[in-house]
Structure 1
Amino acid sequence: MKHYHYIFTGAGLSALMTVYEMVLSGKFKDKSILLLDENSKKTNDRTWCFWDDTELFDDLAFTKWNAAWFKNESFERRLNLHPYHYKMINGLDFYNRVFELISKEDNITFLNQKVLDFQELGHHCVVKTDSEGSEESFTCNQIFNSIFNPKLVDSQSKYPFLHQHFIGWFIKTKEPVFTADCATFMDFSVEQRGNTRFMYVLPTSETEALLEYTLFSKDLLSKEEYESEIQMYIEKLGITAFEIVEKEQGNIPMTCYPFWKNNSKNILNIGAAGGWTKASTGYTFKNTVKKSKALTAFLLKENDLTKFHKIDKFWFYDLLLLDILDQKNHLGSTIFSAMFRKGNPAVIFQFLDEETSFTEDLQVIWRCPKRLFIKALIRRIFR
């Protein structure tokens, strides 16, 4: 039974980003690291979008935009994102970057195996995997788990649990239709049907774009429902001739459930399994960059993983929004429209990136429907 210092159960964004930061730091060469995942990470299975005012992963960005539309059924606004850019990274490009880096590190191993179980046993941990139909076990000092367990959230009612679920079509049109330098960040003009529903349009040229039909809601749809809405939106744009180049599908958990309470001295939940996803928006990439940097720095100073998590004001802001959408899911358009109708886009994105002062928080919060949030606050206090 081979022993490692660290084992990552699941090798998604959070695990790969953390190992990436470990390698860049140059301070973990004496630590043996094992990454385990049933997915070989050799396909472009997703895209990540994020706004940023630095050069973060500029060389990996498939495209980026300086402006973005926000729309609903009654108004539209072109947002000047300066000093931010809205960037898109293909999953496969990121995987290749990380695996190219770690392939040069003798202390890091990746195994394409499914994790069956893991547990802490006193001063060490054990991980069991399925290796081509037979069970294999590894021991380690500490585990970083990114395998999401929905039962943890489903078994309680104190913290709402919504999904950001979507299907996207990469399409190529016969005629130029799209404005290549301007994305559609949220278009709530699609029929809401009692939910929070919107379209993303992420053009990569005048004839190519990713169109993504997205919901923040409790229940998923049939594949046909997502694709029917995408088809109708394409017709609404006046597109008559196009081909589907690629499709993507996703489901991101949106919850303020305190995942950190399930951490132990030697097991830390990371990624969606650890609450690293921005609960109010489902955005993952930028949060994961920050958390992985923080975790890498933490491991150089601390050994007790229960000390890693710290709750902050943004967790509470997200909780109030999710409380509202849990009770009145159709109000998402109203809330986001109030925020973006006249608000300063740079401050809003800074707020959503959890980088604002309390004074700046108020600039965003006061534009939202106050009565809704006051009621949510009162309900939360007495919950």
Structure 2
Amino acid sequence: MRYDYIFSGFGLSGMMILHKMMAADLHLNKSILIIEPEDKSENDKTWSFWEKNQGNWDFLLSKSWDEAYFLGDGIKTNCMKNGYRYKSIASDLFYKTIFKKIEGCKGIVWKKEKTLFFQEQNDTVIVKTNEATYEGATLFNSFYNRNEIINNAKYPLLQQHFVGWFVKSKTPFFKENTATFMDFTIDQQGNTRFLYVLPFSSTEALVEYTLFSPELLTQTEYEEGIQDYLKKIGLHEYSITATEQGNIPMTVYPFWKKNSKRVLNIGTAGGWTKASTGYTFRNSDKLSEKVVDLLREKSFDFTNFKVFNRFTFYDKLLVRVLFDNNELGKSIFSSMFSKVSPDKIFRFLDEESSLQDELQVILSCPKLPFIKALFKS
């Protein structure tokens, strides 16, 4: 059987694409194959993002915050102004919502298999798994070879890696409408390190110890970082109700150059993760919309779906600076959030800014490291 659409891997980006395809009735009279070995039933991650006003996914929010602070030495800035809110979605609710929508659709088939490789041949894409071989007219691919981006001199790999604890205090402790967006007041230890606190009630919060750095830590180091921080803010009696951890590649490696007429690389495999922040949710939301707009056309070609632009260039410089001098993260982010209005920074990071906004953000950063990175690039 030849499928109209094949999803190789079914994570955030794939689910968003299929959800929007179904909302636009693009799945009707089509055969769709999902190849994904995992059940996607656990609450394995928390997606958090800033957004102005109402958003497409507000109906799934676990929580949103009117205030979210950037903290540095002598700096306390509320980043949620001019209509912005910080929002959070639990992955298990997201998964359940998507699954409920696709269950019962006769044209959608799920194979709990692992993709080994795929190949485009004329008007067909061949996908080989550990169990079988499938053919499709269009492939959305979520897998990539991590070895391609490790030790790549031209496109250095910075990593956003973290461990988070969902903690519950015995008595009210947290301000449930106030989040900590980035707290750089902790010991940096030669890296770019910050804490992230999202209160879901006065007694419950997600506390994450996060780094932007080339190298990972031991599990104990992350956990000790959280313990020290909780002591620092005065929380001594608490229980850990759940944990999460992750490692998000921050690189401008041009994954998108592998896109073709019938194959679109999506998610991290397509360069959908914002290299300078590690944020993926908002990018995936916007790019999945672009995918669906293309699919509405009778003839489409994914070859130029994503290209190198000025924002990719900005990201490339920041990644290079933090890769070569990882201890500079605190001073860079502190300079930005103390000199520039947060809404301008968010527009800049969302790639929706004017050149005037971009110039203001760029000039707020330490100059010499970026000049050196420019010549290296």
- Which whole-Å CA distance do the structure 2 matches of 1:22 and 1:194 have between them? 46
The counterpart of 1:209, out of the listed 205, 208, 212, is 205
1:66–1:82 Cα contact (<8 Å) kept: no
RMSD: 1.5
TM (norm. structure 1) is 0.94
Q: How many pairs does the alignment contain? A: 375
The counterpart of 1:364, out of the listed 361, 364, 367, is 361
Partner amino acid for 2:35?
L
How far 1:95 moved relative to its partner? 0.7
TM (norm. structure 2) is 0.96
How far 1:96 moved relative to its partner? 1.0
What corresponds to 2:196 in structure 1?
200
Partner amino acid for 2:81?
L
- Which whole-Å CA distance do the structure 2 matches of 1:54 and 1:94 have between them? 20
- Which whole-Å CA distance do the structure 1 matches of 2:166 and 2:295 have between them? 40
Indicate how the Cα distance of structure 1 residues 206 and 324 shifts in structure 2: closer, same or farther if over 3 A, else same: same
What corresponds to 1:31 in structure 2?
30
What corresponds to 1:312 in structure 2?
309
Question: SS state of the match for residue 366, structure 1?
Answer: helix
- Which whole-Å CA distance do the structure 1 matches of 2:47 and 2:219 have between them? 21
Structure 1 residue 336 and structure 2 residue 333: aligned? yes
Cα deviation per residue 1:5-32 (whole Å; 9 max; x = unaligned)? 1111100001101111111112331321
Partner amino acid for 1:246?
A
- Stretches of structure 1 lacking an aligned partner (at least 5 in a row): none
How far 1:242 moved relative to its partner? 0.4
- Which whole-Å CA distance do the structure 1 matches of 2:118 and 2:78 have between them? 49
Question: SS state of the match for residue 59, structure 1?
Answer: helix
- Which whole-Å CA distance do the structure 2 matches of 1:41 and 1:54 have between them? 29
What corresponds to 1:13 in structure 2?
12
What corresponds to 2:99 in structure 1?
99
How far 1:363 moved relative to its partner? 2.3
- Which whole-Å CA distance do the structure 1 matches of 2:148 and 2:294 have between them? 26
Question: SS state of the match for residue 26, structure 1?
Answer: coil
Partner amino acid for 2:45?
R
How far 1:163 moved relative to its partner? 0.8
Query: Identity over aligned residues, as a percent?
Result: 47
Question: SS state of the match for residue 86, structure 1?
Answer: strand
Partner amino acid for 2:75?
F
1:298–1:308 Cα contact (<8 Å) kept: no
Partner amino acid for 1:233?
Y
What corresponds to 2:113 in structure 1?
113
Structure 1 residue 48 and structure 2 residue 47: aligned? yes
- Stretches of structure 2 lacking an aligned partner (at least 5 in a row): none
How far 1:104 moved relative to its partner? 4.4
1:66–1:80 Cα contact (<8 Å) kept: yes
What corresponds to 1:152 in structure 2?
148
The counterpart of 2:218, out of the listed 222, 232, 256, is 222
How far 1:155 moved relative to its partner? 5.8
Stretches (4+) displaced over 3 A: none
What corresponds to 1:265 in structure 2?
261
How far 1:325 moved relative to its partner? 0.6
